[in-house]
Amino acid sequence: MKLVRYGTPGAEKPGVIDGSGRVRDLSGLVADIGGDTLRASGLDGLRDADVDALPLVDGVPQQDLRLGPCVGGIGKFICIGLNYADHAEEANMPVPPEPVIFNKWTSAVVGPNDPIQIPRNSLKTDWEVELGVVIGEPGVYIDEADAMGHVAGFCVINDVSEREFQLDRAGTWDKGKGCDTFGPTGPWLVTRDEIADVDDLDMWLDVDGERMQSGSTATLIYKVPHLVSYCSRFMSLQSGDIISTGTPPGVGMGQSPPRYLRGGEVVTLGITGLGVQTSHVLAAPE
């Protein structure tokens, strides 16, 4: 299933993509795409529904029908740093001996086609296409062998980052990761059963039509089962939490000379089978 949340910001309704690519309304079955809906029992209930009998939503998704973040009520937005060896190299940082964990604040989360707002006083706003892992079954101290059973599905994430805030301003990475609009999420949550091999998904990102990032989840250093298990050692994972798994090379910081977003650009990114995001970048406010 491809699960979506559609409508105006803050008032999104749950939906599912039908065989023709249109949205069918799920609000008669579930309150939202989040929480217990993402547990195995909740997803099984949605699979039993006759999609073609559900109300058809007016509009074409991502054209004249806005899609919001594909997960509602996200509790934790957990991110993994330097999880591609070639990205660590372009950042002039060593490959970490175990996963690097940081956070994006949930106030950063926006829809897949909502604008990205450059923050005030930004010097180095950057882009990062990433695979998002959405937790379904909650757990703590999860065995790696059982980890995929805790995954509801996957989505596209743009881990927008302000490098000067992140690296030059005395503190943890979180300072440059959680600005408002820095977490475009979606367009849809693709349930785990729809993805044959999560370790073989092409991913890419363009800025104004120029290909900047091109990679594959095949080169992840720490794979999805390990990340789920590892994160659960330090916190309980809850239904609807997201783990963003890292980015391949090609970020602005790694260009020669470095290239950052200033406003006016269009950033387009996608992952095989998980959809495409297109965001207009707004200049920093005075």
Contact (Cβ atoms closer than 8 angstroms) between residue 129 and residue 247: yes
CB 151 within 8 A of CB 133: yes
pLDDT tens for 208-265 read: 999 999 999 999 999 999 999 999 999 999 999 999 999 999 999 999 999 999 999 9
Contacts of 273 (CB under 8 A, 6+ apart): 190, 194, 195, 201
Tokens of 96: 């970490």
> In angstroms, how far is CA 174 from the centroid of its own chain?
16
Beta-carbon contacts of residue 263 (< 8 Å; ≥ 6 apart): 118, 281, 282, 283, 284
Instruction: Report whether pLDDT(86) > 90.
Output: no
What integer pLDDT is reported at residue 110 of this predicted model? 98
Average pLDDT estimate for 78-84: 95
In the block, which residue shows the tokens 């890292």? 246
For 163, left (φ over 0), alpha (ψ -120 to 50), or beta? alpha
CATH architecture of 73-282: Alpha-Beta Complex (3.90)
Q: How confident is the model at residue 94 (pLDDT cuts 50, 70, 90)?
A: confident
Question: Residue 170 above 90 pLDDT?
Answer: no
The residue type found at 244 is: S
Q: Decide if pLDDT at 95 tops 90.
A: no
Locate the domains of the chain by residue range: 73-282
DSSP 3-state percent helix, strand, coil across the chain (nearest 5): 20, 30, 50
Give the separation between CA 161 and CA 114, rounded to whole angstroms.
16
- Model confidence band, residue 73 (pLDDT cutoffs 50, 70, 90): very high
Over the stretch 2-60, which tens digit does the pLDDT of each residue have? 999 999 999 999 999 999 999 999 999 999 999 999 999 999 999 999 999 999 999 99
What's the pLDDT at 115?
A: 98
Confidence of residue 150 (pLDDT cuts 50, 70, 90): very high
Rounded to an integer, the average pLDDT of 124-136 is 98
For β-strands 183-184 and 100-104, DSSP reports them as unpaired
What pLDDT sits at residue 128?
98
CA dist., res. 4 & res. 15, Å (int): 5
Q: How far apart are CA 182 and CA 162, in angstroms?
A: 9
The answer to whether 267 and 279 have CB atoms below 8 angstroms apart is yes
Q: What is the pLDDT of residues 186-222, one digit of tens each?
A: 999 999 999 999 999 999 999 999 999 999 999 999 9
Sequential DSSP letters for 46-108: HHTS-GGGSPBPSS-BTTTB-B--SSSS---EEEEES-BHHHHHHTT-PPPSS-EEEEE-GGG
Residue located via tokens 């509009």: 59
pLDDT of amino acid 172: 87
pTM of whole model > 0.85? yes
